[in-house]
């Protein structure tokens, strides 16, 4: 039975998994979830009502990092969490930073939609801290040696940030922007880009 990924088109967390699935050359069926009108099937699968959810036969896995870990356990090649303690740590740290950018960009987007500028400002402040750390790491090459989950999370988080809040969101991060631009040619990055 094929892997089924329940996702919404602009979810940065779903994009992270699409990148990993493409990098691992796995065949999967993507099931689009309308987050404004969740289907009974999706609600039964997702205890938190969030995307993404991966279904692999009898296995139902939610949360993008948990799904990524599952994929790594079941389909270990190529490794997406790095080989060795240092590489795994670099990937896990980047995964956390990238997911944090995504989470706070989502919070800011919905806060601005509802006119809550105080919540949006707080979210942007948290984004700025994570971006400053990503910029520092990009400038000193404190990055995993092989592409993996950390890269996918940073690409997805920063991609969602610029999709919702514009290119200026990364203006203070020239090294990070250069790294992101260099990733655009990867099949997994181009093939997972959300619609405008």
Please name the fold of domain 85-186: Glutathione S-transferase Yfyf (Class Pi); Chain A, domain 2 (1.20.1050)
In order of 56, 85, 160, 183, the CA distances from 104 in angstroms are 30, 28, 10, 23
List the alpha helices (DSSP H) in the chain.
12-23, 40-45, 64-74, 85-114, 117-139, 149-165, 174-183, 187-190
Residue with tokens 């329940």: 6
* pLDDT for position 196: 74
In sequence order, what are the beta bridge partners of 5? Answer: 30, 54
Phi-psi label, residue 56: left if phi above 0, alpha if psi -120 to 50, beta otherwise: beta
Question: Which residues in the chain show pLDDT less than 50?
Answer: none
Q: Where exactly does CATH 1.20.1050.10 map onto the chain?
A: 85-186
Where exactly does CATH 3.40.30.10 map onto the chain?
Answer: 3-74
The CATH class that applies to domain 3-74 reads alpha beta
């Amino acid at each position: 039975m094929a892997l089924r990924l329940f996702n919404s088109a602009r979810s940065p967390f779903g994009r992270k998994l699409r990148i990993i699935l493409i990098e691992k050359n796995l065949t999967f069926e993507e099931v689009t979830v309308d987050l404004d009108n969740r289907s009974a099937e999706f609600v039964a699968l997702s205890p938190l009502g969030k995307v993404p959810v991966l279904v692999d036969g009898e296995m139902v896995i939610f949360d993008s990092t948990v799904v990524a870990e599952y994929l790594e356990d079941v389909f270990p090649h190529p490794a997406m969490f790095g080989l060795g303690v240092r590489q795994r740590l670099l990937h896990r740290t980047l995964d956390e930073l990238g997911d944090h950018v995504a989470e706070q960009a989502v919070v800011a987007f919905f806060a601005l939609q509802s006119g809550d500028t105080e919540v949006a400002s707080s979210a942007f402040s948290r984004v700025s801290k994570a971006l400053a750390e990503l910029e520092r790491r990009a400038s000193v090459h404190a990055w995993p040696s092989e592409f993996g989950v950390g890269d996918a999370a940073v690409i997805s988080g920063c991609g969602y940030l610029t999709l919702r809040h514009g290119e200026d969101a990364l203006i203070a991060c020239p090294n990070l922007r250069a790294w992101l631009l260099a990733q655009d040619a990867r099949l997994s990055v181009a093939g997972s880009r959300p619609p405008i």
